[in-house]
Amino acid sequence: MYSTEIIKKLQEEFPEVQEIPVPEKFVRDPLPHVNVPPQRIHEVGAFLKSDPAFAFDLPNYVTAVDKVKDGVFELVYDLYSTRHKQGIVLKSTISRDNGVIDSLSDIWSGFDWQEREVYDLFGITFRHHPNMKRILLWEGYPGHPLRKDYVHVTDRFDSGLEIGTPGFDEAGLPVNVKGGSDRHSGESRNPE
């Protein structure tokens, strides 16, 4: 259930935290959303976990949104309190040029691998993270695939027939678009 009370309590301690209005056509009960200045994200996170009035002990996820036209990344942190049965979403905006924000993995160890995933796929560095290296792609991989300006360069590992390539099935065999084909029997799926 959305409660502005939680935001008011947070703003008493951190006046620079801004409420993000809920869209009018929100389908379900939304969580409160707040915008936190990036230089305060660690301090706000530590407060939200340690203060008994909040007790956000469960880090659901951290992700990022690439707003390439605005030249920024928006980090999104979803937190939940198992004691108070309430959640909150923190958002923080950083420049694409710099792409650095403090790690929250020392507050919630559940963010350790998630921050590494964001680093790997977006190129955002989490300052003071204990193991800031790629987690999905190999070291030396060219670029960060979830950036909107990312362009994949074909390398020796590409077959050119990856799953989802139009005109080919998962095995790289051509598909008859009109009727399809059964590669096991060689017969058309839709004989006429």
Condensed to tens digits (0 to 9), the pLDDT of residues 35-49 reads: 999 999 999 999 999
Condensed to tens digits (0 to 9), the pLDDT of residues 106-124 reads: 999 999 999 999 999 999 9
Take residue 91 and report the two structure tokens written for it.
Answer: 């958002």
Q: Give the contacts of 29 (CB within 8 A, at least 6 positions apart).
A: 1, 2
Pairing of strands 100-102, 125-127: parallel
Take residue 79 and report the two structure tokens written for it.
Answer: 């937190």
Which carries the bigger pLDDT value, residue 157 or residue 92? 92
Take residue 77 and report the two structure tokens written for it.
Answer: 């942190």
> Distance between alpha carbon 161 and the CA centroid of its chain, in Å?
28
pLDDT at 147: 95
Residues 48 and 54: beta-carbon distance below 8 Å: yes
Q: Residue 95: what are its φ and ψ, rounded to 5°?
A: -70, 140
pLDDT bin (cut points 50, 70, 90) of residue 10 is very high
Condensed to tens digits (0 to 9), the pLDDT of residues 163-180 reads: 555 666 666 667 775 655
Number of helices (H) and strands (E) in the chain: give both, helices first: 3, 7
Q: Is the pLDDT of residue 92 over 80?
A: yes
For residue 98, give the nearest of 117, 123, 61 by alpha carbon. Answer: 123
What is the distance between the alpha carbons of residues 32 and 80, in angstroms, rounded to a whole number? 11
For residue 36, give the nearest of 45, 46, 26 by alpha carbon. Answer: 45
